[in-house]
């Protein structure tokens, strides 16, 4: 009797809890799986990690430094050269300066544009939800700024050829979102001692409140993957009204700490409409000099997996010319 009335229901209750706990709460392909029991599984384990090294293909030398950042020096520059501070993408949840895609892109950027570069590391969501990554990005800027007056620890940044009057903030996807938010923060606090002369936003992760035409053009799963990500990486935020992901709602865009901005767009990126609206708002309400570069026939961050394609090379040329004027 006891067995029937007590143990059996208990067993079912236990099994029920156990199975619902190991169920999937949400799945973002390439980024992460989150289980109902709280376990997070990252989906970038297959992406190789490359140590800082002399890159055999470009001849560019890199080294790892404090705060997990990786530095790159151009080959044989005699004059002063700009510094690019780069933030990798990966849905705020995967990637690092050592990831093959990121390291490869930085090597080719430095080789092509003849610039110094620092590839920043930051804490990843959902374990470390936003604003953790934004805070780490600010810390990187403050750390770099120490070197302007010669007090920082990093010899490569004390190289007199590093031109702190020509600093560019650049990034792709979520990294480009970080660049925008960092530039807003810098404009407000004016904390760095250097001069941010340009932002390079490649396929920035921005959303609007209502699904745009380009989002409606993809299937529901892909649309959800794009829009729901924000609420999982920034659970304390204001959803799609949050100006960190929907910056056109911000009334003070003009404080952005840069006069010129390059926004790279990809025709098949579901985010393209929001990205274009962002650039237009910066131009109209922010009084910034905004340049667009459109890649036809390609999708979100296509260049990271196809770095040697003609279209990736054209975009790299555009990024380079943006920095050479």
Ligand X SMILES: *[C@@H]1O[C@H](CO)[C@@H](O)[C@H](O)[C@H]1NC(C)=O
> Which of 47-55, 97-105, 220-228, 302-310 is the region at the interface with ligand X (rule: CB under 6 A)?
220-228
Q: Please choose, out of 57-65, 174-182, 222-230, 265-273, the segment that lies near ligand X by the rule CB under 6 A.
A: 222-230
Alpha helix positions (H), 26-173:
100-113, 132-146, 155-158
> In this complex, which beta carbon is closest to ligand X, that of residue 233 or of residue 272?
233
- Measured from the CB atom, the residue of 25 and 189 that comes closer to ligand X is 25
Q: CA of 1: how far to CAs of 8, 10, 11, 14, 283, in Å?
A: 10, 14, 15, 20, 77
Helix (H) or strand (E) holding 272: helix 272-284
The CB-side HSE value for 135 (13 A sphere, CA atoms) comes to 8
The least distance separating ligand X from the CB of residue 304, rounded to whole angstroms, comes to 19
Write out the DSSP string of 297-321.
Answer: T--TTHHHH-TTSHHHHHHHHHHHH
Give, as ranges, the residues between 94 and 133 that touch ligand X (CB under 6 A): none
Instruction: From residue 270, give the alpha-carbon distance in Å to each of 35, 194, 200, 225, 283.
Output: 27, 35, 19, 11, 22
Report residue 64 CA to chain centroid gap: 19
Residue 309 C-beta: closest distance to ligand X, Å: 24
- The correct pick among 62, 93, 181, 225 for binding ligand X (CB under 6 A) is 225
Element (H, E) at 262: strand 260-266
Q: Which of 128, 224, 243, 309 contacts ligand X by CB under 6 A?
A: 224
Q: Which is nearer to ligand X, 13 or 17 (CB)?
A: 17
Q: Between residues 207 and 263, which has the closer beta carbon with respect to ligand X?
A: 207
The nearest distance, CB 45 to ligand X, in angstroms, is 14
Taking contact as CB under 6 A, which single stretch among the options 51-59, 70-78, 121-129, 218-226 is the one that binds ligand X? Answer: 218-226
Task: Tell me the C-alpha to C-alpha distance, in Å, between residue 134 and each of 42, 104, 186, 243.
Answer: 20, 24, 11, 14
Write out the binding residues for ligand X, residues 17-56 only, by CB under 6 A: 22, 26-29, 35, 37, 39
Nearer to ligand X, 228 or 306 (CB): 228
Nearer to ligand X, 57 or 228 (CB): 228
Q: Is 221 in the site for ligand X (CB under 6 A)?
A: yes
Q: Pick between residue 221 and residue 287 the one whose CB is nearest to ligand X.
A: 221
d(CA 53, CA 43): 26
Nearest C-alpha neighbor of 258 from the set 198, 312, 217: 198
* Positions in the binding site for ligand X (CB under 6 A): 22, 26-29, 35, 37, 39, 221, 224-225, 228
């Amino acid at each position: 009797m006891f067995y029937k009335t007590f143990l059996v229901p208990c067993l079912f209750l236990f099994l029920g809890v156990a199975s619902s706990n190991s169920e999937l709460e949400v799945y973002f392909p390439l980024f992460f799986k989150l289980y109902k029991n709280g376990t997070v599984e990252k989906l970038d384990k297959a992406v190789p990690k490359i140590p800082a090294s002399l890159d055999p293909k470009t001849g560019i030398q890199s080294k790892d430094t404090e705060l997990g950042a990786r530095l790159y020096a151009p080959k044989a520059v005699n004059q002063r050269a700009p510094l690019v501070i780069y933030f990798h993408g990966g849905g705020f949840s995967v990637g690092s300066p050592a990831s093959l895609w990121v390291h490869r892109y930085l090597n080719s950027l430095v080789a092509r544009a003849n610039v110094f570069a620092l590839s920043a590391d930051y804490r990843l969501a959902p374990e470390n939800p936003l604003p953790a990554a934004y805070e780490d990005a600010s810390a990187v800027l403050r750390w770099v700024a120490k070197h302007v007056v010669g007090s920082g620890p990093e010899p490569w940044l004390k190289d007199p050829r590093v031109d702190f009057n020509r600093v560019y903030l650049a990034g792709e996807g979520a990294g480009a979102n970080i660049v925008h938010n960092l530039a807003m923060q810098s404009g407000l606090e004016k904390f760095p001692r250097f001069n941010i002369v340009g932002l390079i936003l490649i396929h920035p992760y921005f959303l609007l409140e209502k699904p745009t035409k380009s989002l409606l053009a993809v299937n529901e799963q892909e649309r959800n993957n794009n829009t729901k990500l924000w609420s999982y990486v920034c659970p304390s935020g204001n959803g799609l009204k949050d100006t960190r992901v929907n910056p056109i709602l911000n009334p003070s865009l003009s404080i952005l700490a840069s006069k010129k901005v390059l926004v790279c767009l990809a025709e098949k990126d579901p985010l393209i409409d929001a990205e274009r609206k962002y650039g237009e708002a910066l131009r109209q309400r922010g009084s910034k000099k905004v340049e667009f570069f459109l890649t036809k026939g390609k999708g979100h961050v296509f260049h990271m997996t196809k770095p040697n394609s003609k279209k990736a090379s054209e975009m790299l040329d555009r990024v380079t010319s943006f920095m050479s004027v």
